[in-house]
Structure 1
Amino acid sequence: MKLQNFIKELYKARIRALALISKKRAGDTAFRIFCTPIGKGNYTLTPLLRSAGQLSLQFGQYHLKGYQWNKGAGRKLLIAHGFRSHTQRFEHLVPLLIEKGYEVVAFDAPAHGLSSGKQINAIDYTQLVSVLAHLYGPFDAYIGHSFGGLAVTLAVSELPQPGPVKIVLFAPASDTVGLAATFLKQMEITDPEVHRHFYNNVIRLSGKDLGWFTIRRCLPALNGAILWIHDQEDRITPIQEALEIQRLAPPNIRFIFTRGLGHSKIYRDTAVLKEVAAFL
């Protein structure tokens, strides 16, 4: 049995045991697990990462590791990685972005890579993107993968912008309601009371329900050009929500649907990267 599957089975057993004692404790524990990346994904600095300006940021209780390339360029871009990922997995984009004339900034999110912490949620990640825009921006463009794509769209929809910004979304986590439902199903949590306490954590932390944290809600506030790239066989962030948004025919979003690249190969594919370069 793979380690992640073993840990998942332990979590299931823990939640079942807690539910016998307290539905609230079971729901709260399930939410913490939902926000916990299993496997932090530490890495060693590659030559490209060592060549960057080394950044650090105290973000609440978290100490974050960041990088900056091509400082002082005419345009600025932020890269936001996904859940259980980190900056190093996106370093291959940096030469392309520098060639396009961008200063590039990227940080490992809380509980990821070389940053501290054990958990992250959409509230914190969105706030982080906003803080980075204030400290190192304003950004002319953003690249977000998966959970990072959600955080970027949520933040940009709220940020005061001097003009339209470009956004590249690789397989964004656009439907948080669906992702939470899938998580509860995978964890075999069926008790309605446990569900209720699980979702109450979102309201407690943000004052909003989970449906607020969706790209669909942000669409009216996203005025810049968006390139949305999604694989039809993605098992992490299913394509259904992307197809539904495409049916709305938002004039500023161009969709590219691939097949066979899944959730992680999509941001490394040569043909896809050519489209990204042309868009930026």
Structure 2
Amino acid sequence: MKQFLFFITTKSYGAYINLLCFIAPKKATLLAFSLFSHPRKGKLNSNQLPPFLAEAKKETFDNHGLQFQTYRWDGDEKIIFLLHGWESNTMRWKKLLPHLIETGHTIIAIDAPAHGLSEGKEFNVIRYAASIDCVAKKYSPNYIIGHSIGGKASLYYQATYNNPTVEKMVLLGAPSDYAIIFKNYVRLLRLNSRMEKLIHQHYWERFQVKVADFSAQHYAHSVTAKGLLFHDLDDTVVLYEESKKTNQYWKTSVLETTKGLGHSLQNKEVYKKISAYLLQ
């Protein structure tokens, strides 16, 4: 029943936007972009945090007038950043965290814009990378671990801001080409070609980046930090081919293939390999 309602809702939105783009193209574009960048879930309640987050040291940062939340577990001078994916939050690191604590390093997890306890209604990789930079200016990360779109934001951050303190990065089920995500959205809502062009134009005007160029092909080669990519053959959210492409362009990266773990990659053997990689 839920799937049926979701199908009807998305198709209704798409039909409305397609009609609106001929009557009020600017309004249609803003609506389509808002739906594309607005997460439907992933928020947390500050009064109902799970114990491992409630006990962490919390600190808020400001990114262009919006507050975003971080959580810190103190260790030695080496610092690990954790970056979750779309419609998620720092909760996703609960099972990995004990393994990282065993490394003895300081761990800082970030709730992405519009997720967890962070403010905002809009999410995009560029804003996420800017949030990473805000925290990095105070806590210089040596290692970055990102899942899904958090992995893409990690790589984009390093390519854009070129942080010299970053030694290693771990990307879990991360997409390579933003155009694929965008195309899936267009297909989901069955947006017409006129509407698709309008959103492309809006993206360029707002970020000065073409959707087609927002790909690991165009920036991964500039990242000199070492990389470890995990991707599951059975991932239906972000296909395995995405990490293969990133690995091809990111010359200092290694691709680790798993099977049967899906997109989440929540697995004890994966956690052990991540910890061992950071300690090498």
Q: How does 1:80-229 map to 2 (within 5 A)?
A: 80-136=83-139, 138-190=140-192, 192-229=193-230
Q: Does 1:254 align with 2:254?
A: yes
The letter of the residue matching 2:56 is A
2-structure distance, mates of 1:162, 1:250:
17
User: For the structure 1 residues 124 and 10, does the alpha-carbon distance in structure 2 shift closer, same or farther, using more than 3 Å as the test?
Assistant: same
Name whichever of 54-63 and 228-237 sits farther off.
54-63
Confirm or deny: 8 A CA contact 1:54 1:68 kept in the other structure. Answer: yes
Q: Alpha-carbon deviations, 1:151-170, whole Å to 9, x = none?
A: 11111112343355210000
**TM-score with structure 2 setting the length:** 0.90
Cα deviation 1:47-77 (Å, max 9, x = unaligned)? 2112211111222232222211115x12001
User: The residue matched to 1:92 in structure 2 has which SS?
Assistant: coil
Q: Point out the more displaced range, 112-121 or 37-46.
A: 37-46
Q: Residues 90, 4 of structure 1: CA spacing in aligned structure 2 closer, same or farther, 3 A cutoff?
A: farther
Give the Cα–Cα distance (whole angstroms) in 2 for the partners of residues 224 and 207 of structure 1: 26
CA distance in 2 between counterparts of 1:249 and 1:208 reads: 19
Shift of 1:198: 0.5
Size of the aligned set, in residue pairs, is 274
- Residue 269 of structure 1 aligns with an amino acid whose one-letter code is N
Output the amino acid matched with 1:69: W
Letter in 2 for 1:25: K
Measured in 2, the distance between the counterparts of 1:5 and 1:145 equals 27
Q: Mark the CA change 1:260 to 1:6 in structure 2 (over 3 Å): closer, same or farther.
A: farther
8 Å contact 2:230–2:257 — kept in the other structure? yes
AA of the residue aligned to 1:135 = K
Q: CA deviation at 1:5?
A: 4.5
1:55 and 1:235, CA in 2 relative to 1: closer, same or farther beyond 3 A? same
User: Aligned residue for 1:276?
Assistant: 274
After superposition, the C-alpha distances for 1:218-252 in whole angstroms (9 at most, x for unaligned) are: 22221121110111222221222222344x37542
Residue 20 of structure 1 deviates from its aligned partner by: 4.1
Distance change (3 Å), C-alpha of 1:14 and 1:118? farther
Q: Distance in 2 between matches of 1:105 and 1:166?
A: 15
Write the deviation string for residues 148-206 of structure 1: whole angstroms up to 9, x where unpaired: 1111111111234335521000011221011101110111012x221111011221121
Q: Are residues 1:242 and 2:243 paired?
A: yes
Partner of 1:38: 40
Among all aligned residue pairs of Structure 1 and Structure 2, give the percentage whose two residues are the same amino acid: 28
SS of the residue corresponding to residue 42 of structure 1 reads coil
SS at match of 1:167: strand
Maintained 8 Å contact 2:58/2:71: yes
Instruction: Find the counterpart in structure 1 of residue 24 from structure 2.
Output: 22
One-letter amino acid of the structure 2 residue matched with residue 270 of structure 1? K
TM superposition shift of 1:132: 1.4
Q: 1:45 to 1:161 in 2, by over 3 A?
A: same
Residue type of the alignment partner of 1:133: A
CA RMSD in angstroms, aligned pairs only: 2.0
What corresponds to 1:59 in structure 2? 63
Say which SS state the counterpart of residue 161 (structure 2) adopts.
coil
Unaligned runs of 5+ in 1: none
The structure-2 alpha-carbon separation of the partners of 1:275 and 1:4, relative to structure 1 and needing over 3 Å to count, comes to farther
> Is the 8 Å Cα contact of residues 150 and 214 (structure 1) preserved in structure 2?
no
Contact 2:142 2:168 in 1 (8 A): yes
